[in-house]
Structure formats: C-alpha cells, structure tokens
Structure 1
Amino acid sequence: MTSGTYTLLIELPTPATIEVGALGERDLLAGWYAYTGSALGPGGFARVDRHREVAAGERDVRHWHIDYLLGRPATVLDRAVTTTVDAECAIARAVPGERVPAFGASDCDCESHLAFHEDRDGLSAGVETAHRDHGS
C-alpha cells in the first residue's frame, strides 16, 4: 500500500460552527478548505478512502479533526492530492489561505493543517504547487 502525504480539497457551501472534539468549537466561513494530513501507517492512502466514506455519510466514527468537518451533510470532498513522501508540515505551511487555528495540528508545532480560501481554483493551484515543491 502506498503511503505519504495528502491534501483534501473540501467545499463548505454555508457558514458553520462545528464542535471539533477536544479542540472545541470552530466558526468556519462558507468557501473552500484544504486539509493536509499524513498517511504513513500500514494502511497508507486507505486513510483518504476513509475520509471519503465520512464525507459520503457511510462512516460515523470521528478519529481526526477533519472528520468533524467532513461529517457535516452539506460538506463536499472535492478531491485529494497526494505525494509519496513524508512532507505533511511543509505542505500544510505552503498551502495558501487563512489558517483555522490548531486544526489538525495537535501532534506538531504548526499553526494549523487546515487552510481556508474563497476560491477553489486558487486553492487547488496552491495545493498542487505545495505538493510539487515539497513532495520530491
């Protein structure tokens, strides 16, 4: 199974306040989000498939911060960008947009692994660049 780093492009069509486990409530604007995570364990990129299941309403268990956003019925998981290296923090820092404080970064020193952007195309291009620049 291939492993590495992934970034999910997610649309939140309406503003929302979500409870994110021990992180507490986060107010999120309507727009586009990029969440960067690692899939380095034995399951590798099967983690991305698990995130798709949460977004589709096929799985209810919330293990990671991103599950709380993906589990909202209106949320859409648009696509995933992957690279086969361990570059989670470097990619998360390079993705453009406004950071959601502490989201997805409980096991590192990063400000956040979730970035907000109003424009899908701008965010998508930035994610592609971050993976290209840090994924080799």
Structure 2
Amino acid sequence: MEAKKITSGTYILWIDLAQLSHIKIGKLGNIKFQQGNYVYIGSAMNSQLKNRVLRHLKPSTMKKNHWHIDFFLASNFTQIKKITLIPSHQKEECSVSQQMRQKMDYEVTNFGSSDCKCSSHLYFMGDHLEF
C-alpha cells in the first residue's frame, strides 16, 4: 500500500535582508527593518503547500501583494535563502512560530498574525545564525 503524500502544512522562509530598510507592509504601515536574517512562519492547507511556497518565490512583479510577507519580499533587498517544509494535516503554524520566537532576537509585532492570536510570525535573528 502506497503512503499518501501530505500536501498541506507549515513552511518556514529563511530570509536575508541586505541592508537597513523602511518597507510599507500593507495596513501595518512603514516598518524599519534592520539588516540581517529573518525567519517567517506560514501555512498552507487544502493541498496548497507547494503552490504557496512557489508563489513566494515569484518576483513581486508577477503577483499582487496580499499577505504581509508579500510586501516584505517585494523589497529589492530581501532574498529567500532557504525554505523548510513541515507537512501536516493540521495547521501547526502558530505552535512552530511560538517555538521559533524563543530562539530569535526579536519579533516584528503583528506581522503575519492577523488571523490568529500570535504576536508575530516574522522574527529577526540577526547575523548569528546560519541558514
């Protein structure tokens, strides 16, 4: 019997921001981002994990900014360095985010968490962690 492939779950984007930047993030407004490494935790259920990650990899000129992360990734100074997939039938984005929060320098308040009770889903990890 063949195992069924899990096509939903949580993903982690490991992002480098090449220089200090002020970026307008949708309704959050202009936010000052320090140069360095960031980690974003998102999810895609209903068999959309692959499509969601591929969407994030598209140039900003080929998609409409919808989520907070879209605005961040639209900056000329951001680059996704690594992607971690956590396939699951349950939405585990918030628990992964809380675990990540404990390891990071600081969070970008209210980023990517408008649909949950988390304080953020984007964290700054400075230069001390490798991808």
Normalised by the shorter chain, which TM-score bucket? 0.7 to 0.9
Secondary structure of the residue aligned to 1:45 is helix
Secondary structure of the residue aligned to 2:115 is coil
Q: 1:53, 1:80 → 2: CA distance?
A: 14
Matches within 5 A, 1:14-25: 14-25=19-30
Secondary structure of the residue aligned to 1:66 is helix
Question: Residue by residue, what CA displacement relative to the aligned partner does 1:96-133 show, whole Å, maximum 9, x if unpaired?
Answer: 211000000000110100000113635x4xxxxxxxxx
Residue 44 (structure 1) shift: 2.5
Identical residues among aligned pairs (%):
36
If the length of structure 1 is used for normalisation, what is the TM-score? 0.82
Aligned to 1:41: 46
- Does residue 1:79 correspond to 2:87, yes or no? no
Uncovered stretches (5+) of structure 2, i.e. residues with no partner:
1-5
Structure showing greater Rg: 2
Higher helix share: 1
Q: 2:65, 2:107 → 1: CA distance?
A: 21
Contact 2:9 2:45 in 1 (8 A): yes
If the length of structure 2 is used for normalisation, what is the TM-score? 0.85
Paired residues, number: 121
Question: Residue by residue, what CA displacement relative to the aligned partner does 1:47-96 show, whole Å, maximum 9, x if unpaired?
Answer: 00100113xx4524101000111111121110110111221001111112
Contact 2:111 2:120 in 1 (8 A): yes
